[in-house]
Amino acid sequence: MSADFGVIGLAVMGQNLALNVESRDYTVAVYNRTRFRTDEFMRDKCEGKRVVPTHSLKEFVEALSVPRKMILMVKAGPATDAVLEQLFPLLSSGDVVIDGGNAHYSDTEKRIQQAGKHGIHYLGTGISGGEDGALHGPAIMAGGDREGYEQVEEILVKIAAVGPEGPCCAYFGPGSSGHYVKMVHNGIEYAIMETIAEAYDLMSRGLKMTAQKMASVFAEWNNGDLSSYLFEITEKILRRVDPDTGKPLVDLILDRAAQKGTGKWSTQSALDIGSPAPTIAMSVFARVISALKEERVEAQDVLSGPDNKISADRDEFLRDLFGTVKITVLAAYAQGFRQLQDASRERGYNLDSAEVARVWMAGCIIRARTLTQMAQVFREEPDLPLVFLATPFREVWDKGQSGLRRVLAQAHASGIPIPAIDSAIDFLDAYRSARLPANMIQAQRDFFGAHTYKRIDKDGVFHTKWEEG
Ligand code: NBP
């Protein structure tokens, strides 16, 4: 049987994506480095399905109809290089290779060049939605070879999630644009997760609320303006009780979060291109600090601080917190979209922000109701530098900022850390400041390094001998 499509890598994402493609009436060839995984997949999940198991890359390539179309769902980095090194010589000019892993965009650029030497169409493609999304419909962010995309578009569109504005799949532009969009998606994901964690901390440690009560708050928020996947799962997490202890399961989970790959890369790239993404960056650093568990435990007895109790009226505080969380989540999206625009200019991606918002509306981890409004805003003003400047989002700021400032004061007075929330207000207060203290920084730079400065009252470049006269 000649297969329409191939999947390389049968861990959680590859298996589910293969089943998704098969369910749309395609025959799928599959290959995994470790044979056992392929055999197990065939035995447990593929009975009666049009899935062709193969046990070598040569066999895999021969099982595909020409021009061959395939997706790699293997670990990003050296594992992907190892597969491609063996795969490219087996392929023919005109074949299409989609890298669906979370590759670093610079690796994607390099691989596009390598594929080009073999006449292969290479698509660096972000796939978001985790296990469930891969099976039922992920968000698909493709980039790279346009001709290649046209050959696989039908399949990708069919397997994608369907959002309020159609299938969540798009070709974003040349080079590594698809993987770059996915990377920033994950940066935003980090920031929203951190914001939720901070709100949970304020309610839990600050207001001493039970998990069930907090779940009800998240349910209410999820029914309103914050309606989104991450808020939905937070309610479910808070309601889960550990059968062994009868305690909320979340309370029993070690407070140490991993950070690697895309969230970190998103921040590194923001720094490289000079794009302001502090809320995303602080979310990465929050995970870095969380990993210092042993040090934190020791420091608790060394460094004094308040008792974490928030003594505000609970209902008023929760009302303020709702506005605070809305602004912080919006700051994460605002910074992410801004980074995409900056990167698009810098790297020639030619990204369409409205289309990015549309693809993120369903299937992916940061799907949220607010993205429909964001797509609309970007359609009206494609080069809008910051979503807060558009009326619906400016109103979120206008309505929520006094409450945010109260939450901030209470959190700091109680000693509960809120790095994402803090960074959001600092970012917005800086962005709306016509004059910032960078004049002092320029003076200092000129003082110790003769870096020169410009003046606000006359043209030219100036240097002062600060120690003289
Ligand atoms: P993993 O990222 O855990 O990768 C496991 C797969 O890579 C297995 O098939 C493994 O084969 C293969 N592999 C490795 Br490791 N080294 C290899 C090598 N040297 N040669 C050939 N194959 C090798 O799997 P995943 O969680 O399914 O994710 C797949 C991709 O999708 C990753 O790039 C990931 O970042 C991305 N992604 C994951 C998610 C998610 O929710 N998990 C979401 C979105 C994107 P083996 O069985 O022989 O070890």
Answer yes or no: do 23 and 96 share one domain.
yes
Judgement on whether residues 427 and 319 belong to the same structural domain of the protein: yes
Model pLDDT, residue 261: 86
Rounded to the nearest angstrom, the distance between the alpha carbon of 260 and the centre of ligand 1 is 15
- Residue pLDDT tens, the chain, 469 long: 699 999 999 999 999 999 999 999 999 999 999 999 999 999 999 999 999 999 999 999 999 999 999 999 999 999 999 999 999 999 999 999 999 999 999 999 999 999 999 999 999 999 999 999 999 999 999 999 999 999 999 999 999 999 999 999 999 999 999 999 999 999 999 999 999 999 999 999 999 999 999 999 999 999 999 999 999 999 999 999 999 999 999 999 999 998 878 999 999 999 999 999 999 999 999 999 999 999 999 999 999 999 999 999 999 999 999 999 999 999 999 999 999 999 999 999 999 999 999 999 999 999 999 999 999 999 999 999 999 999 999 999 999 999 999 999 999 999 999 999 999 999 999 999 999 999 999 999 999 999 999 999 999 999 999 999 7
422 and 461 belong to one structural domain = no
Q: Is the bond preceding residue 437 a cis peptide, omega within 30 degrees?
A: no
Q: Within 6 Å (CB) of ligand 1, which residues are found?
A: 9-14, 32-34, 37, 73-76, 79, 82-83, 101-102, 127-128, 130
CATH number, domain with residue 121 = 3.40.50.720
Instruction: Tell whether 148 and 271 lie within a shared domain.
Output: no
Say whether both 400 and 449 belong to one domain: no
Number of domains into which the chain is organized: 3
Report how far ligand 1's centroid is from the alpha carbon of 98 (Å).
Answer: 14
Separation of alpha carbons 42 and 160, rounded Å: 23
Strands 162-163 and 166-167: antiparallel
pLDDT value of residue 460: 98
How far is ligand 1, taken at its centre, from the CA of residue 42, in Å? 18
Last residue of a domain, one of 175, 206, 232: 175
The beta-carbon contacts of 302-309 under 8 Å, at least 24 apart in sequence, are: 305/415, 306/413, 306/414, 306/415, 307/414, 307/415, 308/205, 308/206, 308/414, 308/415, 308/416, 309/206, 309/208, 309/414
pLDDT of residue 260: 77
Span from the CA of 100 to the centroid of ligand 1 (angstroms): 10
Residue burial 205-227, b: 16+ Cβ < 10 Å; e: rest: bbbebebeebbebbbebbeebbe
Burial of 30 (0-12, 13-18, 19+ CB in 10 A): buried
Which of 13, 39, 83 has most ligand 1 atoms within 8 Å of CB, for mutation? 13
Query: Ligand 1 pocket: which of 17, 19, 75, 86 to mutate (most atoms <8 Å of CB)?
Result: 75
Smallest CA separation from ligand 1 atom 40, residue = 130
So what's the pLDDT on residue 1? 67
Q: Residue 400's domain spans which residues?
A: 182-431
Query: Are 233 and 266 found together in one domain?
Result: yes
Q: Look up the pTM and report it.
A: 0.97
Ligand 1, atom 33: closest residue by C-alpha: 101
Residues tagged active-site: 182, 189
Residue 452 sits in a domain whose CATH number is 1.20.5.320
Q: How far is CA 314 from CA 116, 125, 210, in A?
A: 61, 45, 13
Predicted pLDDT at 259: 80
CATH of the domain at 304: 1.10.1040.10
Query: Both 204 and 316 in a single domain?
Result: yes
122 with 227, same domain? no
Same domain, 168 and 251: no
Specify the residue for token string 């390389």: 8
Contact 124, 172 (CB under 8 A): no
